[in-house]
Structure 1
Amino acid sequence: MSLKKPISLLKNRNFLLLWCAYFISAMGDHLSEMEILRMQNALGEGVDIIPLQARMMFVFFIPFFLFGPLMGMLADRYPRRGLMIFADIARIALMLFFATLIIWLSPYSADWGPYLPLLFVGLFAAMFSPARSAMLPTLIEDEQLVEANALIRGVGVLATIISAVLGGWLADNMPGVAFKADAATFAASAILVFFIIAPKSDRTQVVREERFIPQIAGGVRYILCHRRVMQLIIFGTVYWFSAAGLNSIVPAVVKHSFGLKSYQDVSMFRAYLVVGMVLGSGALFVLKDALRSEVAITWSLIGAGLAGTLMAVSTISWWSNSVAYVLGAIGIMVAGFFGSGLITSYNALLQRIVPDRYRGRVYGVLDLCTMTGLLLACGVLGIPHWEKIDRWCGLIAMGIGMLMLAVGLTSLVIRHTNQPDPIGLSITRGFNEFFCRFWYKLKRVGPCTVPREGPVIITANHSATPDPLMIYAECHHRRISFLVAKEYTGIPVAKWFIGSIACIPVERDANDANSAREALRRLKNGDALGIFIEGRIPDPGEVAEPKNGVAMLALRSGATVIPVGISGTVFRDGIAAGFFAPHRATIRFGEPVDLSEFPSKPSHEELNAATKKIHGAILDLVELNKVQPRD
């Protein structure tokens, strides 16, 4: 097993090329939006801007809805790099003639004609999207997925900031130039993608001779058989529905609630959204895999829901324009922060759990579902001829906020339904896991081998004060009750945690028969106990002798013994100093220790031998951490 540190993303040539290509093409996706609105006189007196904005998004994204699964199948069937280049070249041609196409098509429909050229641009964007998302995991290591998606999301929204401001300026000062600039961005993207050296992947497992429809159906069957994938697609759908709704009402909020009238004002307010998204991506880049994607998704939904509610509050008429603007800016920035966390996390999780041979089709279905949400929001706002709909932008924002909040709370309940702890303690467990991974730099090597049921003793070397927290952080499916020194129960926060996971206090300097009897009773009830075989934290350089308690309890109860090796911690004298000290901890769970050679009522020599065997298994894991270091 190789634990060699993967090459840094910022030194990974293929990733950098994909990253830069995405940055440039993301600029192209938004650069001409203000120019299209300008051609429709969107900020003129008496013009409702929400339907215009909604129609523009509707037309661009409907190919994702109509052809998402087909494009995903192509990404599994053909070289992904080639599909991306072809999509870029097609968009270059379209953007060069975009203004002419608008003029030609406008007479056919006053409402929809100006936006029909976007239908073809969206078609090739729908081809580009699943190919890019499916290619990314083949260029990097699994442990880099959150970091990579955060970088991609961050640079994408940075491109949106630039394109929003630049697009607004071009619309006000250089009409028509934005379309040519768009063509240049897609040309640059195609050149960068061309130089990516795509590795050979599992894509060859998809049989090309099989017909298109059965291949698409195979991807759908895979999704229907995997509940986690279905849940992630639902979360993505809610995100895009909500994002489309908020994006559509931004011009109306700026125009009516804040009293601002220029295209640049609309672009600048939208920039707060993408600033929040950049900050959200930056936070996940710093945290890397310290925050589990499932946890990030739940709290991102809740946070975005609260932010949408704040944006709705900003539209209330009793605020002055300046106060309303500040509240709205905070709301949309926070929405961007959590929205970025949501989309980054569900993408990283999908890329991690979906095999490469299905990944393109899964992303194709994801595009279908997410664009269904987007088109539903845009269609409801843009297709009917609502009377003075701009005046209802506050209620629309409130509805979106309540939807995301409800889905986030539902996600919280679902995620904790099958957990071994009550929901309050389960949230605490999640915070403990985050703290250990972020502050202690905790990394688990290999799987957690603790059985899901039955009596079990998890026993480890004792290297630092937070050792129990580290074990608890990396065993998600069992509630582990530790044998702890009685003095820890006098510390307020520790006392609550010790009580909540039903730890057993032990008199450190006495032969505590009551604690031993309680531990034996718990094991006979099928519980999981955590015991440090050495009984205490040894001083630096000291070799601690193991105690016989673990072996005695295991043999008397018949409990499974799981050895755990902890390394990379630093010694600090004192409970608080040890708890807050930064570590670089590695934890490794071993296979169950075979104690079948020993009787249930061992002699003193047999008990010593069993203890030596258990302790030896622990030391082997600690030594393995040194031989196969995490970096």
Structure 2
Amino acid sequence: MKTQNQFQLFKERRFLPYFFVQFFGALNDNIFKNALLTLIAFGAFNQETRELLTNLGALLFILPFFLFSALAGQLADKYKKAHIIRYIKFVEILIMGCATIAFWHHQLALLFVILFFMGSHSAFFAPVKYSILPQYLERDELVGGNGLVEMGTFVAILLGTILGILLIRIHTSTLFISIAIMLTAVLGFMTSLWIPNQKTISNPDLKINWEPFSQTWYVLKRAASQRTIFLTILGISWFWFFGSVIITQLYNYNQDILHGNEAVMILMISILSIGIGLGSLSCEKLSRHKVEIGLVPFGSIGLTLITIDLSFAHGLYPEQVINVSTFLSHWEGWHILIDLFFFGIFGGLYSVPLYVLLQSRTEEKERSQMIAANSVLNALFMVVASLFSIALLTLGLSIPQLFLVIGFCNLAVTMYLYKLLPEFLMRFIAWLLINCIYRVKITGIENIPEEGPAIITCNHVSLVDPIVVMASCHRPIRFVMDHQIFKIPLLKFVFQTAGCIPVASEKENPEIKERAFALVKEALDRGELIGLFPEGSLTSNGNIQQFRKGLERILNNNPVPVVPMAVQGLWGSFFSRRYGKAMLHWPRQFLFSKIGLQITKPIPPEEFNLEELKNITQNLRGDWE
């Protein structure tokens, strides 16, 4: 049964045990990893050695993702994912048994080897972790489910960081660390037994290629052949490059720049994790349960600004070690915590929509392999991030200067990615319009088909009608619009990016008209949504005008369902003609003005009648113009 909000998923067996499996896995990773990093940070090493060992540890944990992800993706597509999870969780118990021995005998070299094996464990888990969700959750639950997973992951990171740091600093650390990592591994295995088995296997006939390099090359080529998927993977990978540089350096930033003790480190990680959790959870509400890629540019802009600000936030601290009280007695301490909190918020807003987009746009039979391709590139980017950090620090840059450099790098890279895939920026502009300029009350959004071709019709009140409709719908809509409106400078970018189709009358330009009908037919043949304003032009008096017959011609060529809708509240806006030409009169609506979008059930093509469509649209709009 579909849930109404993400927290109801905790009542469902199809989600709850999976959530705890990934939670305990992330918790154990971070207890172990942070215990090791704390040994390095507070051990008898000089600053250069600490920085080298810290980045070496990050490299060893990430390297298995590059080596084993392609194989893991094949296994997850060929066999039942629940069974694979149980095998992985059992192996985790064995790895943690070896880690216990290494802690007891204080074998730092062996701990680094075990860190590699924990990375290998996580590499095999990652494709299953993300590809299993679409099999258990409804499409409208994916944003909320992924938000909870990301929240749980970073709560686990927070707890793992606290436990890893504190337990390793206790005098009898070997006992408590051993109990913590073994108990967590056992709990992860026990909860994996509760995960329900899927009824189907994604690709049971898949032939396993055990040679890692050729298979890795294959999944990368396969991902690269699908433009949107590949650019989505690049966006996620860059996020991990960017985040890896920041988070990995926090330990040495605290030790060498702030001179903070373990409690200060725990406080910073806690604030960062809380921010990521809140940002991830807010995605469902901000996106209205849909895949809203418009949140991605919002997140990336915020990450850039926050990182640049963080590079100047450290101030001057005394050379002696400081505690939390001293840290918070300076404005710089609060400044750093605020930056880390919002870094987390924007990170959640950036990453969750990208993961949902990757899950929803990949085919079931190869979803795990595409997620494996994502893991490979994530690993590659994070390895390069470690080398990048080592190189810049070796050249003499301080950690705050490294933050500044990576902040400007994030600005340049994200601008380039959005140039390659401008749909992200278009959705961002549309999202800002209906969330910041207007407050939109949407009724009947479930009437828009989840897949397949259909024609969306709407009354035409203002120049932003298509943007409001596109931003409210989770599927891309290609609107057919007057070629003069299509050319308006401030809106042309949005219309072009959204794939809108300019049209002219027979008298104005017959070539543009015929080309528009040809493009509409091609789009419907591909199963896309076409948006039409049957009135043909903006209303000049607020009333719904006569509907033109072009829609009938389209339906004769492509008999598809017609979904009527109506916008409300835009008559009299800056973009309407109530007070003269649109966008050339003084605005009489202000920020957060309330508007509406009413959507009713699709009309089957065999029941379509143009006059009846006008009556339906009139009734949908009602008296609210």
Give the match's secondary structure for 1:161. helix
Following the alignment from structure 1 to structure 2, what is the Cα–Cα distance between the partners of residues 55 and 172?
A: 22
Residue 377 to residue 468, structure 1, CA distance change in 2 (3 Å): closer
Following the alignment from structure 2 to structure 1, what is the Cα–Cα distance between the partners of residues 218 and 254?
A: 46
Q: How does 1:468-479 map to 2 (within 5 A)?
A: 470-473=468-471, 474=473, 476-478=477-479
Establish whether residue 146 from structure 1 lines up as the match of residue 143 from structure 2: yes
Aligned to 1:187: 186
Aligned to 2:407: 401
Structure number with greater Rg is 1
Establish whether residue 346 from structure 1 lines up as the match of residue 354 from structure 2: yes
Give the match's secondary structure for 2:197. coil
Following the alignment from structure 2 to structure 1, what is the Cα–Cα distance between the partners of residues 27 and 35?
A: 14
Shift of 1:139: 0.3
Following the alignment from structure 1 to structure 2, what is the Cα–Cα distance between the partners of residues 304 and 199?
A: 38
Q: 1:62-105: per-residue Cα shift (whole Å, max 9, x none)?
A: 11111111111111122211221111121122223314235769
Residue 75 to residue 45, structure 1, CA distance change in 2 (3 Å): closer
Shift of 1:310: 1.4
Following the alignment from structure 1 to structure 2, what is the Cα–Cα distance between the partners of residues 57 and 215?
A: 25
2:380 to 360, 364, 372: 372
Q: 1:390-419: per-residue Cα shift (whole Å, max 9, x none)?
A: x71012111211121112212332233x89
Q: 1:235-257: per-residue Cα shift (whole Å, max 9, x none)?
A: 12211112221112112222233
Establish whether residue 445 from structure 1 lines up as the match of residue 442 from structure 2: no
Following the alignment from structure 1 to structure 2, what is the Cα–Cα distance between the partners of residues 43 and 35?
A: 12
Aligned to 1:156: 153
Q: How does 1:145-544 map to 2 (within 5 A)?
A: 145-173=142-170, 174-176=172-174, 177-203=176-202, 205-208=203-206, 211-212=209-210, 219-260=219-260, 262-289=261-288, 292-315=291-314, 322-381=330-389, 392-416=398-422, 428-432=429-433, 439-441=440-442, 443=445, 445-446=448-449, 459-460=457-458, 470-473=468-471, 474=473, 476-478=477-479, 480-481=481-482, 521=508, 525-526=512-513, 530-532=533-535
Give the match's secondary structure for 2:173. coil
Give the match's secondary structure for 2:478. coil
Following the alignment from structure 1 to structure 2, what is the Cα–Cα distance between the partners of residues 482 and 52?
A: 61
Following the alignment from structure 1 to structure 2, what is the Cα–Cα distance between the partners of residues 537 and 240?
A: 51
Give the match's secondary structure for 1:440. strand
Following the alignment from structure 1 to structure 2, what is the Cα–Cα distance between the partners of residues 228 and 520?
A: 39
Aligned to 1:606: none
Following the alignment from structure 1 to structure 2, what is the Cα–Cα distance between the partners of residues 533 and 14?
A: 48
TM-align CA RMSD = 4.8
Amino acid at match of 1:200: K
Shift of 1:331: 2.4
Residue 445 to residue 5, structure 1, CA distance change in 2 (3 Å): farther
Following the alignment from structure 2 to structure 1, what is the Cα–Cα distance between the partners of residues 349 and 381?
A: 19
Give the match's secondary structure for 1:339. helix
Amino acid at match of 1:70: L
Do the aligned residues in 2 keep the contact of 1:102 with 1:117 (CA within 8 Å)? no
Shift of 1:26: 1.8
Establish whether residue 124 from structure 1 lines up as the match of residue 118 from structure 2: no
Counting matched residue pairs gives: 558
Do the aligned residues in 2 keep the contact of 1:258 with 1:324 (CA within 8 Å)? no
1:586 to 576, 596, 599: 599
Residue 175 to residue 191, structure 1, CA distance change in 2 (3 Å): same
Residue 498 to residue 408, structure 1, CA distance change in 2 (3 Å): closer
Do the aligned residues in 2 keep the contact of 1:34 with 1:167 (CA within 8 Å)? yes
Shift of 1:316: 5.6
Aligned to 2:102: 101
Shift of 1:341: 2.2
Residue 621 to residue 80, structure 1, CA distance change in 2 (3 Å): farther
Residue 468 to residue 118, structure 1, CA distance change in 2 (3 Å): closer
Following the alignment from structure 1 to structure 2, what is the Cα–Cα distance between the partners of residues 99 and 587?
A: 62
Deviates more, 1:425-434 or 1:121-130: 425-434
Amino acid at match of 2:227: R
Amino acid at match of 1:223: A
Following the alignment from structure 1 to structure 2, what is the Cα–Cα distance between the partners of residues 125 and 343?
A: 19
Aligned to 1:628: none
Residue 160 to residue 522, structure 1, CA distance change in 2 (3 Å): farther
Shift of 1:438: 7.5
Shift of 1:620: 7.7
Residue 355 to residue 553, structure 1, CA distance change in 2 (3 Å): closer
Do the aligned residues in 2 keep the contact of 1:58 with 1:378 (CA within 8 Å)? yes
Shift of 1:183: 1.8
Amino acid at match of 1:614: L
Do the aligned residues in 1 keep the contact of 2:459 with 2:533 (CA within 8 Å)? no
Shift of 1:23: 2.0
Do the aligned residues in 1 keep the contact of 2:454 with 2:562 (CA within 8 Å)? no
Give the match's secondary structure for 1:13. coil
Aligned to 1:23: 23
Following the alignment from structure 1 to structure 2, what is the Cα–Cα distance between the partners of residues 286 and 98?
A: 41
Amino acid at match of 1:86: Y
Determine what percentage of the aligned residue pairs are the same residue. Answer: 16
Give the match's secondary structure for 2:533. strand
Do the aligned residues in 2 keep the contact of 1:306 with 1:401 (CA within 8 Å)? yes
Residue 28 to residue 500, structure 1, CA distance change in 2 (3 Å): closer
Do the aligned residues in 2 keep the contact of 1:158 with 1:274 (CA within 8 Å)? yes
Do the aligned residues in 1 keep the contact of 2:392 with 2:402 (CA within 8 Å)? no
Establish whether residue 80 from structure 1 lines up as the match of residue 67 from structure 2: no
Following the alignment from structure 2 to structure 1, what is the Cα–Cα distance between the partners of residues 139 and 310?
A: 37
Aligned to 2:523: none
Following the alignment from structure 1 to structure 2, what is the Cα–Cα distance between the partners of residues 65 and 553?
A: 52
Q: 1:144-201: per-residue Cα shift (whole Å, max 9, x none)?
A: 2111111110121122222222332223335121232122122212222211113223
Shift of 1:124: 1.5
Residue 312 to residue 75, structure 1, CA distance change in 2 (3 Å): same
Following the alignment from structure 1 to structure 2, what is the Cα–Cα distance between the partners of residues 229 and 254?
A: 38
Give the match's secondary structure for 1:97. helix
Q: Structure 1 regions of 5+ residues with no counterpart? A: 452-457, 485-493, 503-516, 595-611, 625-631
Following the alignment from structure 1 to structure 2, what is the Cα–Cα distance between the partners of residues 163 and 284?
A: 25
Give the match's secondary structure for 1:477. strand
Residue 352 to residue 314, structure 1, CA distance change in 2 (3 Å): same
Shift of 1:268: 1.7
Following the alignment from structure 2 to structure 1, what is the Cα–Cα distance between the partners of residues 593 and 559?
A: 30
How does the TM-score come out when normalised to structure 1? Answer: 0.74
Following the alignment from structure 1 to structure 2, what is the Cα–Cα distance between the partners of residues 18 and 378?
A: 31
Q: Structure 2 regions of 5+ residues with no counterpart? A: 319-325, 497-503, 517-530, 574-588, 621-625
Shift of 1:448: 8.6
Following the alignment from structure 2 to structure 1, what is the Cα–Cα distance between the partners of residues 127 and 80?
A: 12
Following the alignment from structure 1 to structure 2, what is the Cα–Cα distance between the partners of residues 483 and 592?
A: 30
Amino acid at match of 2:367: R
Do the aligned residues in 1 keep the contact of 2:569 with 2:595 (CA within 8 Å)? no
